[in-house]
Amino acid sequence: MKSFLKPESVLKKLKLKSDMRAADFGSGSGGWVIPLAKILEDGKVFAIDILEEPLSALKSKLKSTNIDNIETIQSSVEILNGSKLFPESCDLILMTNLLFQTEDKEVVLGEGERVLNSGGKILVIDWKENVALGPKERISAKEVIKIVEKIGMKVEKEFEASPCHWGLILIK
């Protein structure tokens, strides 16, 4: 099987600066947060998840590292102001394998747009529709693009993130 989704490889597409502020919506136990925090060594990364267990696992992982720029937030990004972040407080939002499992995708994308600075970016990665692996529920890149246009953002780039995932870089 070809290589699966590699956060480090995908993050390189974003041309990140070490002092950026970012948030990972639906961070889980840190599969994307930790590689991102290593790149943003002079910045800040907010790991946001609705469940306490993965955030607790992330905190445990961080104890054995010298990474100190991650802040965990237990909250739902499926409600207005759900990220608990200030408006225009981030340069980057990650939404990796998140949208397929959310009820109101427009609210989630809108919350990302709300906390982004002007010129900020959202990285959306999700499951391709016609691959055997992954969940039953899927969302296509085309569906996300329709929502994004509705909330006033633009697509900067569409790409293949892995053999099983599509990717979008959105810009405010």
pTM (2 decimals)? 0.95
* Buried residues in 6-43 as b, exposed as e (16+ CB within 10 A): ebeebbeebebeeebbbbbbbbbbbbbbbbbbbbbeeb
Q: Nearest to residue 32, comparing CAs of 81, 93, 104?
A: 93
- Phi first, then psi, for residue 36 (nearest 5°) are -65, -45
pLDDT in tens, 2-37: 458 899 999 999 999 999 999 999 999 999 999 999
- pLDDT for res 42: 97
pLDDT in tens, 90-138: 999 999 999 999 999 999 999 999 999 999 999 999 999 988 888 999 9
- pLDDT for res 4: 80
The answer to whether 25 touches 93, Cβ cutoff 8 Å, is: yes
- pLDDT for res 3: 57
Q: Helices 105-115 and 141-150 sit at what angle, rounded to 10 degrees? A: 60
**Gap between the Cα atoms of 133 and 105, Å rounded:** 22
**Gap between the Cα atoms of 36 and 33, Å rounded:** 5
The CATH class, in words, for 7-171 is alpha beta
